[in-house]
Amino acid sequence: MKTSQKGIDLIKEFEGYSERVYMCAGGKYTIGYGHTRGVEVGDTCTREQAEKYLREDLQDAEESVLALISVPLTQHQFDALVSLVYNIGSGNFYDSTIRRVINLKIGNIEEYRRAWMMWVKSRGKVLKGLVRRREAEFKMFKGE
């Protein structure tokens, strides 16, 4: 399974494009559409390079979702989970309540939402941007 254009657009919307390195809220040097691997102060990238980074990073997130979710997913559910993993990382997703409730098929949609919305903090602070992103991801997960 691959991320659809709708899923890619969601990630791009929340990551935004930056041609210059910046320090993200999580304390990592970031460039392009949220790319962090190997990024150093002073780096720059074109939109073309940012797209390449995004495709590479998406592949990692996609592989994580496919490896860590054991139940069938619709395209919109897969896209939403890839966006989440792209943002929080595979290790955090592995340990997450949302992964467990999806795999165990426990709870109802509100339970899924509560587990999803646990991921709105960076360095202990609730960030409005993360709240908006989680709400948009969850809306996508539900197929809205």
Catalytic residue numbers, as ranges? 15, 24
Rounded CA-CA distance 123/104 in Å is: 29
Instruction: Output the DSSP codes for 50-108.
Output: HHHHHHHHHHHHHHHHHHH--S---HHHHHHHHHHHHHH-HHHHHT-HHHHHHHHT-S-
Rounded CA-CA distance 78/83 in Å is: 9
Rounded CA-CA distance 105/46 in Å is: 42
Lookup: tokens for 97: 């309540």
- Other CB atoms within a 10 A radius of the CB of residue 41 amount to 8
